[in-house]
Structure 1
Amino acid sequence: MYFEIFKSKTDNQWYWHLKAANHEIVAHGEGYRNRDDCVHAVNLVMDTTRKTPFYEA
């Protein structure tokens, strides 16, 4: 799995995708005004561990 960040041409915001080995998107984030905020969001997701709580709604 890997993260991909990109800047949208339609709204000029930064987005991230988490992609599986087959390149399919398995998760995505909201739009960010600047690249650093987008990278920060990716880092937050990367810091998630198996100890992160799981809740069923």
Structure 2
Amino acid sequence: MVVYPKFQVFKSLANSQYYYRLRAVNSEPILSGEGYTSKQSCLVAIASVKANAPYDFRYERKNGTANYTFNLKASNGEIIGRSENYTTSAARENGIEAVKRDAPVAAIEDLS
């Protein structure tokens, strides 16, 4: 049985870096991280996402032409997660609410 929400950690074949993606309860990807040179660094980033996700002021909302996204920032202002693209600001807000709800309790699945 597949359980969501969850963070998936994987290693890129293209650059050998570790990445994470957060999948929501509906299994859709809602947040992803940058590349990390070690799995441990990737896991530290996931811990930071779990700690910062509940706080609305940590989200930077971005508006484009029919393209709405958000970044999740750590207490030092660094981006620790980037959203998928949304076609409306309301859909983006739903994505933020999903990260707030799901990230703190999400399990970690190691695919590397």
TM range (shorter): 0.7 to 0.9
Q: Which of 24, 32, 37 is 2:36 aligned to? A: 32
One-letter amino acid of the structure 2 residue matched with residue 18 of structure 1: L
Aligned mate of 2:12, from 4, 8, 21 = 8
2:50 pairs, out of 46, 49, 52, with: 46
TM-score by length of 1: 0.82
Gaps of 5+ in 2: 63-112
Distance in 2 (CA, whole Å) between partners of 1:26 and 1:51 is 16
Aligned-residue Cα RMSD (Å) equals 1.8
Max Rg structure: 2
- Select the structure with the greater relative contact order (CA < 8 A; seq sep ≥ 6): 2
Q: Which amino acid aligns with 1:26?
A: I
TM-score (norm. length: structure 2): 0.45
> What count of residue pairs does the alignment treat as equivalent?
57
User: Which deviations, in whole Å up to 9, do the C-alpha atoms of 1:20-46 show, x marking residues without a partner?
Assistant: 122211000000000000000000001
Q: CA 1:51–1:9 in structure 2 vs 1: closer, same or farther (change >3 Å)?
A: closer
Q: Which has the higher helix share?
A: 2
Which ranges in structure 1 are unaligned for 5 or more consecutive residues? none
Q: d(CA) in 2 for partners of 1:7 and 1:48?
A: 24
Q: Secondary structure at the match of 1:32?
A: coil
